[in-house]
Amino acid sequence: MSTETARPVRRVTVPEIRARKGGEPIVALTSYHAHTAAIVDRHAEVILVGDSLGMVMHGMETTVGVPLDLMVMHGKAVVRGTRRALVVVDMPFGSYEESPSVAFRNAARVMKETGCGAVKLEGGARMGETIRFLTERGVPVMAHIGLTPQSSHVLGGFRTQGRDEATWPAHLEDARVVAEAGAFAVVVEGVVEPLAARITAACPIPTIGIGASAACDGQILVLEDMLGLNPRPPRFVRVYGRLGDMIEEAVAAYAGEVRARAFPGEDQVYR
């Protein structure tokens, strides 16, 4: 028996993610429940309990209808299922935009009730004051710029950002302001590659891309998309698993066996 004491597992910290700027790419994935989070925890440094759960798990058309209570519920599950990754919980639409103090009240609730290590909120320059207010009061913030799904009604849908070069200064300003306000990292979603590269080069905090090319300091995907559970994944997703097909096959096999009275069999019966 080894006399060496096993080193306790400890969580990745916010300063550790912040320090990854320009270094080894940050691996991030979403997760909404304990079982998948436990698997992701062995491979990713950041797990985001994204408000995409409204669309992925609850069949909503957009993320706009996601309530704070739902984020708290899924955040708790993910924290319970993990030991290593930094868990970041999304602030849903309507829970932080009104004022910095409303944002603090709701972010503090998310942190207290879930045990997560940070929150994420959407918006660039317009959220600077709020990001500063939160970080100065002990709430680490991951920002989110580019395509911000909670504003899909204003943006006219889920549209790639930065196709028109005239818009680039505004996106670069978003990145500058959130970093200066104290965000420790920034998700850059759905922007053209040269803009993602400019933002990453100019921004002093790590950029975590989704549909924003390999120019970013890290990558994030929605777990269900990369596992093959979304029949129509966005173009920027690479599908690493075929879980949708596997589930279909398994459910069809079960249904066939129940109908044929082949399940339960000898091994599944209490004698």
- Least distance CB 257 / ligand KIV (angstroms): 36
Of 128 and 209, which CB lies nearer to ligand KIV in the complex structure? 209
Give least dist CB 42 to ligand KIV, A.
Answer: 20
| 21: DSSP letter | T
Q: Report the residue number, 103 or 264, with the smaller CB distance to ligand KIV.
A: 103
**Residue 238: how many other CB atoms lie within 10 Å:** 9
Residue tagged active-site, from 113, 189, 248, 257: 189
**Do 216 and 229 touch, CB atoms closer than 8 A?**
no
Nearest to 214 by CA among 53, 25, 75, 6: 25
Closer to ligand KIV at the Cβ: 142 or 270? 142
The secondary structure of residue 61, as a DSSP letter, is S
Nearer to ligand KIV, 144 or 198 (CB): 144
In whole angstroms, the minimum distance from the beta carbon of 200 to ligand KIV comes to 16
User: Binding residues for ligand KIV, per CB under 6 A?
Assistant: 30, 48, 50-52, 90, 144, 187, 189, 210, 220, 222
- Dist. CA 63–CA 85, nearest whole Å: 24
Shortest CB 169 distance to ligand KIV, Å: 23
- Is 136 catalytic? The answer is no
Distance (Å, rounded) from C-alpha 173 to C-alpha 178? 9
Task: Report residue 115 as tokens.
Answer: 């045990």
Kindly list the catalytic residues.
Answer: 189
